[in-house]
A and B are shown apart, each in its own frame.
Chain A
Amino acid sequence: MDISRLVSMANQIAAFFEAWPDKDEARKNVAQHLRNFWEPRMRKEIIDFVRNGGDGGLKSLAREAVLLLAAETQSANNAT
C-alpha cells in the first residue's frame, strides 16, 4: 500500500495523542489505535518501513508507537 498514505494516517493519529501529558501513555494509545483499527498488512507495511529506516515525515510519536507495536507483535508471534 502507498506508504506515504500510511505515514500520513499514522501522523494524524499521533497528532491527536500528542497533547497527552504522559508521553508513555500517548505512545501506548497510538500503538493501541493501530492495533485496533489497522488491518495487518497496513501494520506490517508501516513496521517494515520504520525498521528499514524509512522517514517520510513520520512524527516521532508515531515512530515510537510503531516500534512499540512491532515489539508487541514480535512478542505475540514468539508466544504462539
Chain B
Amino acid sequence: MLSITDTDYGTPARRSEKLVSLEIDGRAVTVPAGTSVLRAAALVGIKIPKLCATDSLEPFGSCRLCLVEIKGRAGYPASCTTPVEDGMQVRTQSDKLQMLRRNVMELYISDHPLDCLTCPANGNCELQEMAGVVGLRHVRYGYDGKNHLSAPKDESNPYFVFDPSKCIVCSRCVRACEEIQGTFALTIHGRGFDSVISPGQREAFIDSECVSCGACVQACPTATLIEKSVIEKGQAEHTVVTTCGYCGVGCSFKAEMKGNEVVRMVPNKDGYPNLGHSCVKGRFAWGYATHPDRVTKPLIRERITDPWREVSWDEAIQYAATGLKRVQQKYGRYSIGAIASSRCTNEEAYLVQKLVRAVFGNNNVDTCARVCHSPTGYGLKTAFGTSAGTQDFASVLKADVIMVIGCNPTDGHPVFASMLKRRVREGAKLIVVDPRKIDLVKTPHVEATYHLQLRPGTNVALINAMAHVVVTEGLTNDAFIAERCDLRDYQLWKEFISRPYNSPEAVEPITGVPAHLIRSAARLYACGGNATIYYGLGVTEHSQGSTMVLGMANLAMATGNIGREGVGVNPLRGQNNVQGSCDVGSFPHELTGYRHISDPQVRAAFEREWGVKLDPEPGLRIPNMFDAALDGSFKGLYVQGEDIAQSDPNTQHVTAALRAMEFVIVQDLFLNETAKYAHVFLPGSSFLEKDGTFTNSERRISRVRKVMPPLAGKQDWEITVALANALDFPMKYSHPSEIMDEIARLTPTFAGVSYEKLDRLGSIQWPCNDKAPEGTPVMHVGQFVRGKGKFTITEYVPTSERTSPRYPLILTTGRILTQYNVGTQTRRTPNVIWHAEDLLEIHPHDAEQRGIRDGDWVEVVSRAGSTTLRAKITERVQPGVVYTTFHHPESRANVVTTENSDWATNCPEYKVTAVQVRLLKPLAEHREVGQPSLELTAAK
C-alpha cells in the first residue's frame, strides 16, 4: 500500500503543451491533454472511488468503481480510462452511480474476510475505505458460497506476506511488476472466479523470479501483499523523507515511523530520481541499523592484541587525539592521514578532509572512491572539464541507443535498470559490453541488439575499434566537433584512431569479439539517434580504467552525443555518496569542487575560512598510504566508514600495512575486519541516525534526515568535530546545514546550495549557482565546462596481469542484487536468504577440464594468494574467465586480487586477476563440514 501520507491521483500525470478545459461536478478544470477524468477530478480535490487505479500505473479499467456520468454520452464510463475532452461535463456522484458502485463493492466483499479490526492494513486499506465511501451496509449474497477465504498464505519471502484470501484481483501487483519493475514475475492464473495472482507458474514468491523490489506490495490496495514489519508493528504514525544509504542511485524514501522505530521504508513517489520505485535493499534491508552487532560504546586498547575496553566518549576522543599527536610528534607532520567514507554524508566527508588539511597539516586524505570511480574523476575532468556524469537518470527515457559497459544495473543499480528496461521495451536499442552474459543481455521483453562479450582487460581496444569505425566510415558529427571541441586535439586523435591496428579486425584477437559485431555496434551507436553510455566498475577497475573513460568520452564527442537529453557518458556509482565524497574534497590532490591543492587562489579561500596555512602538495592516496606504512614513514590513520582490510586488494599487503602503523582509529557501525588492527573504535551512526546530504550518480544532492537518535549517541560528523576540538582546532557546528553553508561559500559549483533550498526543491543537481539557481540536470549544454571538449589519444596497453600456464584463467568480480559490497550491512539482514555465500562462476568447459562439478569446493590461486569457494557451473561466463562476488569475508576474494592499478589514479585492477582453479578433495567431506579451513597461503 502507499505511504500513509501519499495522495493518489489515480492515473499517471501526462505531459502535453495542449491544455484541455472541462467541468467536473460543476467545477471548471484545466489539465494537459491525455489526462484521465479520474486524475483531473483528483487534482481539484474531487475523489472518485477507485480500486484498480493508482497513479503509478497505466489505467486498467477493471474494478468498475470509478464510473462517472458524462453529459451526452451513454452509459457509465470508467473515469480512469476516459481521457478529458474540451467542454466535457462530468458528474461523479448520483444515485445511479452510488448504486452501481455499491453493487460492485458488495461483490468484492462477498469474497473477502470480514476481519478489518485485526487486519494489518486496518487504517490504511483502500478496500476498507471504498466500502465506507460507497455506503456498503450489507452483502446480499452471504458468505457461504464459493470463495477464496481459506486460500493459504505465502510467507516465503522474508519481508512480505502474500495472503490471497484478501485479494480482489485488481492486477495492480501484476502491472507494477511489469510496468515499474520490468521483471514480469507475476501473472493472473486461471479465469473467471478461479483467477488468482500467481508468482511465476504458481510458485512460492521465494522460488519465483520475483526480485523483492516491493513494487507489488506498494501497489496492493489491501493487505494481500503487506510488509511483515507492518504486521508485526502496526501502522506508522508519521513519516520522514530521507535518502537511501545503499547504491549510487540515491533513492528517496519515506521512513514510516512509530516514535523512533522504523515500521517500513516506502519509496517516495514525489522524490527524484526513483519517483516511487525501490529495490530489495533500500526498501527492505534496513534492519542492520538496529542489529545486535552494532557497537554502541567507544572502545580503546593499547595494542591490537589486547582486548577492547569500553570507555566514555570523552576518554575515547582524548585517547584518539593523544595517539595522533604522539605519532606526529615522533614521525613528523606527514606520518598520519585519514580515509573519508563514501557511505557517510557530504558534510561528514568534508569534515574529515578539513581535519586532515587544517589540523593534521598535510593532505593525506583519500576516500573509498579511490578503489572504484577515481578513473571517472580523472577521465571526465580531462575530457569535459568536470568529474561527474553528464546526465540525469531520466535522460535515459529519451535515448534511442543505450550502451551499457562494464556494469550490471539489474543487480548493482536496480531502480535505474527498471528505467532503462522500460526505455528498451519502448523501442530503444541496447548494446551490452561485458565479459559475462548479464541479465540485460536477455531478460523478459528486453534483449540486447549486440552483446560484445569481450575478454576482461580489453575495454580500451574495443572502444578504440568502435571509434575507428566511426572515423574511418565517415560517421563523425563534424559540425559538433568543429563547434564544440579542440580541433588540434581532435586531429591528433583522428590520426591515431584511424591507424589500422585500431580496426575491429585487428583487435578481434585481443578482445575476442568478432569484428563484424564491433562494426555493427559502432554504426548503431553513431547513427541510431540519441546514443548514451552507462558504465560501472567494469570500466574503471582496470590498469587502463582512466584510458577507457577517456575512450568513451572520445566516442561520445566524435558522434555529437553530449550536451542534450538522451545522450551522454554516465558513471553508475557504486556507493551512495561516492560522487559526493569526491565533490567535497576527499581526494588528496583536490579541494572541494575538484580544484587542485596547488592552486594558490583556491587554497587562499580555504585558508581565510579555516584560519590556517594549507600545504600545497598532494597527499598520499590509499595504496600509497599502505606502501608508506610498510616503509615506516606513515604511522597513523583515521578511517571513517570503510573496511579497507576487506575491500582493498591484496589483503595481505593491506593488513601488513595496518600492522606496521602505530595508531589506527576506526569509526564504523560494526567491528569490521579493519577494526582488528585498530587501537580506537569510535561507534558510528547509520543513515537513519543522522542529518546531512548524499549526492548520487547524477550529481543530485538529497537530504538525509535523522529519523531516530544515534544508537551510540553521536552522529559521525559530531565525532569528527569532537576529534578536531581535542586536537585544539575548534570546529563549531551545531547542525550539518552549517557545514553545507561552508561548502557552498567555498565551492562555485555548490554556491547556490542550502538546506532551505533542498527542503523547498526536494533535491538539487549541481552545478547550482547564480547561472543555474535550481541546479543542472544535463551538463555541457552549448559548451563544455572546460571550454572545448578534449579528445585524448587512448593507446591500448595490455595489463601486466597476464595469464600463464600456471594461472590460465582470468578472475573477474562483481556484485549481486541482494547483497551490497563487502556485505557489512546486507549480511545482517534477511537478504542472506538469497545469497548465503559467494560462489565461483566457471564455464562448463573449464570445469570439465578440472573435474569440477556444480557445488564442489574449489581453490582459487593467484600470484597474490589463494582462497576457497564453491563452484557454480554456468555459461554466463565465457571459457577462460571465472567470476565471483565479494560480499562475504570468509570468501576472501581480495586475498587473490593483486596490487595492479590504474595508471592515472591507482584504482585497483579488481577486474583482472590471473588465477588457477583447482578441485579440492575429498568432496563428500567438504559438503558435510562446510568450507574447508585452509590456511591463507601466499603464492608470492
Contact = CB atoms under 8 A, between A and B. Distances in A.
B617 A40 contact: yes
A12 B903 contact: yes
Contact of B589 (A5, A9, A37, A42): A37
B904 interface: yes
Contact of B903 (A15, A19, A21): A15
Contact of B334 (A12, A15, A41): A41
Contacts of B800: 8
B103 interface: no
Interface residues of B, number: 35
Interface in A8-50: 8-9, 12-13, 15-16, 18-21, 33, 35-42
Contacts of A8: 800
Contacts of B617: 39-40
B627 A38 contact: no
A36 B618 contact: yes
B627 A5 contact: yes
Contacts of A38: 618
Contacts of A37: 589, 618, 621, 904-905
B797 interface: yes
Contacts of A79: none
A19 B627 contact: no
Interface stretch (B26-34, B628-636, B808-816): B628-636
B620 A39 contact: yes
B271 interface: no
B492 interface: yes
Nearest to A5: B627
A16 B903 contact: yes
Nearest to A3: B631
Contacts of A42: 620, 624
Contact of A33 (B630, B633, B904): B904
Interface string B602-645: 00000000000000011111001001101101000000000000
A42 B628 CA distance: 9
Given A16-B903, A21-B492, A39 B627 contact: no
Nearest to A39: B620
Interface string B31-49: 0000000000000000000
Contacts of B492: 20-21
A13 B795 contact: no
A59 B547 CA distance: 19
A21 to B, nearest CB: 6
A17 B81 CA distance: 62
A44 B913 CA distance: 31
B904 A13 contact: yes
A2 B627 contact: yes
Contacts of A9: 901, 903, 906
Contacts of B585: none
B904 A16 contact: yes
16 contacts: A1-B628, A1-B631, A2-B627, A2-B631, A5-B627, A8-B800, A12-B903, A15-B797, A16-B544, A16-B547, A16-B795, A21-B495, A33-B904, A37-B589, A39-B363, A39-B620
Interface of B: 334, 363-364, 492, 495-496, 543-544, 546-547, 588-589, 596, 598, 617-621, 624, 627-628, 630-631, 633, 793, 795, 797, 800, 899, 901, 903-906
Given A1-B628, A16-B904, A39-B588, 7 more contacts: A1-B624, A5-B899, A9-B906, A16-B797, A33-B904, A39-B621, A42-B624
Report, nearest first, the 10 A-B pairs whose CB atoms are least far apart.
A12-B903, A19-B795, A15-B797, A39-B620, A19-B793, A1-B627, A1-B631, A40-B617, A16-B903, A13-B903
